[in-house]
Amino acid sequence: MANHGERIGPFELQEVLAVRPRSNLWRAVRTDGQSRGPRDVVLRLAHDAADGEAIAELRKEYDALRAIDDPRVRKAWGFYPGFGALALEYIDGVSLAWVIQQATQRALDFDLATRVDILVELANALRVAHEVGVVHARLCADTVRLRRDGNVVITDFALPVDRLAVVPPEIAAGASVATPTDQWLLGALAVHLLLGETLLGGEPGRPADGRRDLTPWLARVEGVSPRMARVAAKLLARDPRDRYGSEGLLVKDLLSALRETADAPRRDLLARKAHLRRPQGEVAPVVRSPRLAARPGAEDTRTAPMGEQPPPRQPVAVPSPATPPRPAPPDDDADATSVELRLPTPAPWKPRAVSFQSSHDLVDAVVDDDDAVTTPRGLPPPAPEEDRESEEPTSAGPRMVPDWVAAWALVMLLAVGVWAIVTRIF
C-alpha cells in the first residue's frame, strides 16, 4: 500500500499528483544521497504491483521515453518492476489546460503568436518521437506542460483514452493508432488553443466522438486565423491518408501561419505570469491502493472513492542501518541494581629512545603501546637494553668508528694535503 513517506527504491513518496484507474502519480524525492540523478521525480505507481497488464504498460512507457531524446518530451529515469513503479522527470510547470482556462477568464494575456508558437514546438516534438517509431496517441492540453522558462514538454504517454476530451476517428472506430493519430490530436489541440474551447465540447471523462461534423468549428477558427483554419482542416481530416505526409510539412505551414501574425511570440513572459498565478497547495486526494505483498508492512486495502479522504494509517516502519543498541537508563524506582558502564582507560604512551649502529642506518621507528620496536626491513632487530650493555666486541665483525673520529681524520688528511702542496710550491 502506498503511503506518504514510503520508500520505493531510492525514492520517498511525498504527495499524490494525479489519480488514475490503474496507477497513481506521486511526487517523490531521492533519499539515497547519490548524485547520479535528479532529487525530485514523479513516480507512477501501479495500484497492484502483481498486475501484469499494469506492469506491461509501465514498461512500454519506459521504453518509449528512453527512445526519445528531446527536451520537449518528459524523460524516464528508472523502472522498478518489483514495486510496480516508473520514475519520471518532474516538470516544474503548469498544464496547458490551466493556461488556456486562465486566458479564457482574461486572467492571462495569451496572444495568437504565442499560441501558434506552442503548436510549432509540439509539432517538432512529435516529429522527433515519430522518427524513432513512438506514437503518443494521448496528446491534449492536459498532457502538455509549460515550464518556468517558457519551454513546453509533452508528458503522460499512458493517459487513459476516456481522459481525452475528444477521441480521434480511428480510435473511436477501434482501429490501430499511427503517426496520423497524433496529427489529428494536435489539430484538436489547435482548436482548443485558438478558441479556448475543447473540440466538439467534449471533456475528460465524457469524450466526444471525432467522427462528427467539424465544419462549424473550423469556421470559427477561420475567423481567428484563416491560415490556421487551413492547417487545422488538414490535421482533422477523417481519413488518415488525407493528413500531412510528414511533420516537416506541418511545421512549414505552422511557421507560415506564425509569420502572418506579425507579432513576436512571448512564451517566456507567459510562463512567468502563469507561475505567479498558479494555485499553491492544491493536491489531488490521496487514494490508498493495494500494493505487492512482498514489500514489508504492505496491507491489502480497497481503494478509497474519489473525493473521500481515506482513514489515517501508520507509516511503514523502515529499520535504520545496523546500529548498536544503547543501554536503557536506570530506573530509580526499580528494584534492580543499577550498573555503571566503565570503559578501560588506555595506558599512557611512553616514548622510547632507539639507538642505531651508525648515522647511515638512521630511519624512523614506530613504538606502540607494548614497547615493541619496528625496525626497517633488512636490519636485524635491536637487542634488549640489558643484553646490549653486557655484549663484548668480538672479532667476528668490524668495529664501527664513531662519526666524530671519522670527521677528525678527514680534516687532518686535508690539512696534510694542503701542507704538502704549499711546501712543494715554495
- Map residue 360 onto helix, strand or coil: helix
CB 45 within 8 A of CB 26: yes
- For the chain, give me the number of helices (H) and strands (E)? 11, 13
User: What single DSSP character describes residue 379?
Assistant: S
Q: 128 burial class (0-12, 13-18, 19+ CB within 10 angstroms)?
A: middle
CA dist., res. 236 & res. 186, Å (int): 9
Mean pLDDT of the 229-256 span: 96
User: What single DSSP character describes residue 381?
Assistant: P
CB 70 within 8 A of CB 312: no
Question: 104-155, pLDDT tens digit by residue?
Answer: 999 999 999 999 999 999 999 999 999 999 999 999 999 999 999 999 999 9
Angle, helices 226-235 vs 215-224, to 10°: value is: 150
pLDDT band (50, 70, 90) for residue 416: confident
Cβ neighbors of 365 (< 8 A, separation 6 or more) are 354, 373, 374, 375, 376
Question: 57-90, pLDDT tens digit by residue?
Answer: 999 999 999 999 999 999 999 999 999 999 999 9
Q: Which range, 40-44, 319-323, 378-382, has the best average confidence (pLDDT)? A: 40-44
pLDDT band (50, 70, 90) for residue 38: confident
Count other C-beta atoms under 10 Å from residue 397's C-beta.
7
pLDDT band (50, 70, 90) for residue 157: confident
Mean pLDDT of the 182-203 span: 97
Which residue did the predictor score with more confidence, 163 or 373? Answer: 163
CB 145 within 8 A of CB 99: no
The reported pLDDT for the residue numbered 326 is 46
CA dist., res. 369 & res. 352, Å (int): 11
Element (H, E) at 389: helix 385-390
pLDDT band (50, 70, 90) for residue 312: very low
- Write the secondary structure of 197-248 as one string of H (helix), E (strand) and C (coil): CCHHHCECCECEECCCCCHHHHHHHHHHCHHHHHHHHHHCCCCHHHCCCCHH
Cβ neighbors of 397 (< 8 A, separation 6 or more) are none
CA dist., res. 132 & res. 155, Å (int): 17
CA dist., res. 243 & res. 230, Å (int): 11
Evaluate if residue 366 carries a pLDDT over 70.
no
Domains of the chain: 7-277 (1.10.510.10)
Q: Name the average pLDDT for the chain.
A: 78
Cβ neighbors of 79 (< 8 A, separation 6 or more) are 58, 59, 62, 85, 86, 87
The reported pLDDT for the residue numbered 406 is 82
CA dist., res. 400 & res. 105, Å (int): 104
The reported pLDDT for the residue numbered 159 is 84
The reported pLDDT for the residue numbered 29 is 93
CA dist., res. 424 & res. 14, Å (int): 101
Look at strands 85-89 and 23-30 and give their pairing: unpaired
CA dist., res. 346 & res. 332, Å (int): 32
Backbone angles phi, psi at 28, to 5 degrees: -140, 160
Evaluate if residue 2 carries a pLDDT over 80.
no
Evaluate if residue 259 carries a pLDDT over 90.
yes
String of DSSP letters for 102-161: HHHTTSS---HHHHHHHHHHHHHHHHHHHHTT------SGGGEEEETTS-EEE--TT--G
